[in-house]
Amino acid sequence: MAMLDRAGNFPFAPEHWDEDDALNLARQEGLELGPDHWAELRALQEYCAHHDCGKYSVRELHDALDEKFHNQGGYKYLYRLFPQGPIAQGCRLAGLEPPAGAIDSGFGSVV
C-alpha cells in the first residue's frame, strides 16, 4: 500500500485511480515520486474535478498549474518534475485523460 491515504490526500482522485498504480507507472517511466510530484498530481485531480475534463484546454490547465506552482518556479519547475510533460505525464500518473493537444502523436508530449 502506498504511503499516502487516498481519502485524506487525494479527495478528487478518479474512482479507478490508486497511488500504487501511479507509483508503478512512474517507476516504469523512470521517476521516483516525491512530495512535489504528489502535489502536482493532487492539483491536476482537483482541477479536473472542478472543470469539465472533456472540454478544458491545454492552455487553461497550463496557466492554472503555472499559477499554483508560481512560488516554486511555475511551469519550468513542473517540467523538472515531469520531463515528459507536466500535463501529459502528470495526467497519465494522476489517472486523468490529458486534454486535447497535450500529446502530439508525431512528437510525443508537448506540454
| CATH number, domain containing residue 48 | 1.10.10.370
Four-residue CA torsion sign, 90, 36, 53, 96:
positive
103: domain range? 35-109
Assess if residue 88 is contained within a domain: yes
Percent of the chain with pLDDT over 70: 81
If one counts every other C-beta atom within 10 angstroms of the C-beta of residue 14, the result is 15
Return d(Cα 24, Cα 22) in angstroms, integer: 5
Assess if residue 17 is contained within a domain: no
Assess if residue 10 is contained within a domain: no
| Weakest-pLDDT range from 17-26, 87-96, 98-107 | 98-107
Torsions phi, psi for 31 (to 5 deg): -110, 145
Q: How confident is the model at residue 6 (pLDDT cuts 50, 70, 90)?
A: very low
pLDDT for 109: 53
Domain count, the chain: 1
Type of residue found at 67 = E
Type of residue found at 74 = G
Q: How confident is the model at residue 4 (pLDDT cuts 50, 70, 90)?
A: very low
pTM of the complete model:
0.83
